[in-house]
Amino acid sequence: MLRSEASVTRATTASGGLGDAMTRSSAPRVDARPLPDRPGSGQPGTPPTASKSGPDRGACRRSSKRTRSRTFPSAGKAENEMLDAEQGTPEFWARTSPDAPAVVQGEKTLTYGEWNDRADRVAEGLSRLGLKAGDRLGMRFRLGIEWFVIQRALQKLGVAQVAVNWKLTPDEATYIIEDSEAVGLACNDREPSAWAAHNVGHLITVGQEPGTPGMRYEDLVETPDPTPRFGPLRANLVLYTSGTTGAPRGVPPLEPGSVDADWLDRYQRSVASASPVKEGGAVLLTLPVHHGAGPTVATRACAAGGTVILLDPYDAEEALRLIEKHQVWTWTAVPTMLLRVAALPKQTLDRYDLSSLKVLRTGASAVPYSLKEWVIDLLGPDVLWETYGASEAGMISYTAPEYQLTKPGTSGRPFEGVEIAIVDDEWNRRPAGETGEIAVKTPMVIDHYLGRGPLGEDTLKDGFYRTGDAGHLDEDGFLYITDRVKDMIVAGGVNIYPAEIEKVLVQHPDVIDAAVIGIPEPTFGEQPLAFIVVDPPTTLNDDELLAFLDGKLAPYKRPRKFVYVEELPVNPTGKVLKSELRKPYWSDRERAI
């Protein structure tokens, strides 16, 4: 299945910037030989040039017309050199455009000048608490202005952020704090008193009354006489894997100098080209900041001197209202969010002017063809981008607007600097059109999880990482994801891929979402079972769905049973937790699939 934007934010600079025009290179080679030990640059798959302006190399420099040193008449030589070094950071915008809005949440606005001042004060306060470069601090936040201030303070100090999902229980979150060896936890929980019984180190709270245990954010931002600090626009983010099986594991940030700088630079520029940000424009942020995509969106907006518009909790109509009000240029949304917009009545959609929205990026799960058609009909043919990545490997491939309908079902071409191989169990490559496991080589591929030993050859070989996804490459080098390898159903020795069934089920006009698992079957071993989320107030029954599937799927692929639910269980990145769906059916079995 498609994965959401992953830890591009692990890069030694920011998650990348818009590059100038780049020549598209040939598609990846596809052959059946064992993987050779090749140079890391791989076979590029360069996104088309974005006409919008925005951040360049590492987001600390600007697009071609802005990367030249800029002179400010009122500044001396030393100050001009500092301005040039800081270009694209909050410090830069605080000096050059202090009153420009950086973050908007409801009626509250944080300017770049306020952002930098508050971040300096928080950094000073944290420094006095003993936090220093090389430390880690847990960050458990719903979207909020305070997250922007604290994360920038950490960047100034050289302290890594450990992303903690705000939906986790205190016990689950404490596991991450302890596993990552974080020195504390910052959170905007409404009831932070729950942390008193947990060993999380320094506790930093938001919105609490004086006397609350821990250090209040409201006191930190009043720290007197702060030392002005500067940090690179680098997320320095520790992401914890979804934990769909086993305990979550930390994906460490990319260490500076650990990969070839030119390879990393080409990769970052290519990735950023698939999500252009207008210089000074507005970006709508509806994604969580405990996953790589949220911080990446925020970083790119800052590098372009733009304004981040926050929306949490998500509401489809409110998203449209904010797009119109703030003339939003870029929005990154998971498919479920777009499905909620598509479900709005036509008269509601017609109320809003969405003409400012020039880039709509999606990922995290499969995007139904019918949804793509709807988006293109609503916004035009040049707006929709789709990306595929993995936390352990960064961004892998993209589908540009021109391929959304002409290459149905594709996850696109690899970004520049990425190699994709389809391999069997012995790491032999499979030719175009044949299905196998997707293995990738990118500058972001990890060789270990935080605090754990090197990955084994069953996962990593010659720089190629097994993603756990099954798929194939076509003759043009476009990637097609069939399913998660572990999600495959084996019925009577025949492989059945749930994603193929799900893609057909969601084409039914009354089906909002679907998930298919394998359940025990005495004769064939397994059979497909489909969980269906129906668009209320309509109802469906098994006979109607079976009639709909007739002629669309081979008989052996069709589910014989359906379960109707209000929603599917998902992890923090929006991925369906099929392990939860399987539990009732496999609890008394030796294996879970």
Classified as helix, coil or strand, 178 is helix
CA-to-CA separations, 348 to 320, 342, 573, in angstroms, rounded: 10, 10, 28
Q: What is the pLDDT of residue 410?
A: 92
Q: How far apart are CA 127 and CA 223, in angstroms?
A: 11
Q: ∠ at Cα 101 (97, 102), nearest 5°? A: 95
CA-to-CA separations, 444 to 73, 252, 325, 391, 448, in angstroms, rounded: 41, 10, 37, 9, 12
- In the sheet that holds 215-216, the strands lie side by side as 215-216, 202-205, 184-187, 136-140, 160-163, 237-240, 250-251
Q: What is the pLDDT of residue 212?
A: 82
Whole-number average pLDDT of the chain:
83
pLDDT (tens digit, 9 = 90+) per residue, 131-155?
999 999 999 999 999 999 999 999 9
Residue that has been written with the tokens 């269906």 in this structure: 532
Q: How far apart are CA 134 and CA 387, in angstroms?
A: 32
Q: Of 82-91, 122-131, 323-332, 476-485, which gets the smallest average pLDDT? A: 82-91
CB-CB contact of 329 with 283 (8 Å): yes
pLDDT at 6 over 60: no
Tell me the pLDDT band of 571, cut-offs 50, 70 and 90.
confident
pLDDT at 72 over 70: no
Q: Over pLDDT 70: what percentage of the chain?
A: 83
More confident residue, 590 or 449: 449
3-state helix, strand, coil in the chain (%, to 5): 30, 25, 50
Q: What is the pLDDT of residue 492?
A: 63
Q: How far apart are CA 307 and CA 322, in angstroms?
A: 12
Tell me the pLDDT band of 521, cut-offs 50, 70 and 90.
confident
CA-to-CA separations, 139 to 35, 160, 165, 288, 391, in angstroms, rounded: 39, 10, 8, 12, 18
CB-CB contact of 556 with 496 (8 Å): yes
pLDDT at 50 over 60: no
Classified as helix, coil or strand, 555 is helix
**Domain architecture of the chain: domains with CATH:** 7-23+43-89+239-484 (3.40.50.12780), 113-231 (3.40.50.980), 488-586 (3.30.300.30)
Q: What is the pLDDT of residue 523?
A: 67
pLDDT at 494 over 80: no
Q: How far apart are CA 332 and CA 286, in angstroms?
A: 8
463: left (phi over 0), alpha (psi -120 to 50) or beta: left
Return the structure tokens found at 49: 């040039």
pLDDT (tens digit, 9 = 90+) per residue, 377-430?
999 999 999 999 988 999 999 999 999 999 988 999 999 999 999 999 999 999
Q: What is the pLDDT of residue 350?
A: 95
Q: How far apart are CA 192 and CA 206, in angstroms?
A: 9
pLDDT at 341 over 60: yes
Tell me the pLDDT band of 246, cut-offs 50, 70 and 90.
low
pLDDT at 4 over 70: no
Classify burial at 439, counting beta carbons within 10 Å of its beta carbon; exposed 0-12, middle 13-18, buried 19 or more: buried
Quick one: average pLDDT of 542-557? 88
pLDDT (tens digit, 9 = 90+) per residue, 296-320?
999 999 999 999 999 999 999 999 9
CB-CB contact of 296 with 8 (8 Å): yes
Q: ∠ at Cα 559 (554, 563), nearest 5°? A: 155
CA-to-CA separations, 248 to 114, 164, 240, 415, 443, in angstroms, rounded: 36, 11, 6, 28, 23
Ranges 55-64, 256-265, 482-491, most confident: 256-265
- Helix 542-549 / helix 498-505 crossing angle, nearest 10 deg: 110
pLDDT at 198 over 90: no
pLDDT at 580 over 50: yes
Quick one: average pLDDT of 115-136? 97
Q: What is the pLDDT of residue 81?
A: 52
CB-CB contact of 87 with 100 (8 Å): no
Return the structure tokens found at 392: 């352990």
pLDDT at 287 over 60: yes
pLDDT at 223 over 70: yes
* H-type alpha helices, 279-432: 293-303, 316-326, 335-342, 346-349, 369-379
pLDDT at 8 over 50: no
Tell me the pLDDT band of 285, cut-offs 50, 70 and 90.
very high
pLDDT at 484 over 90: no
Q: What is the pTM of this model?
A: 0.75
Q: What is the pLDDT of residue 243?
A: 47
Q: What is the pLDDT of residue 589?
A: 59
The separation between CA 48 and the C-alpha centre of its own chain, rounded to angstroms, equals: 21
CA-to-CA separations, 423 to 173, 412, 458, 513, in angstroms, rounded: 36, 18, 12, 30
pLDDT at 470 over 80: yes
pLDDT at 592 over 60: no
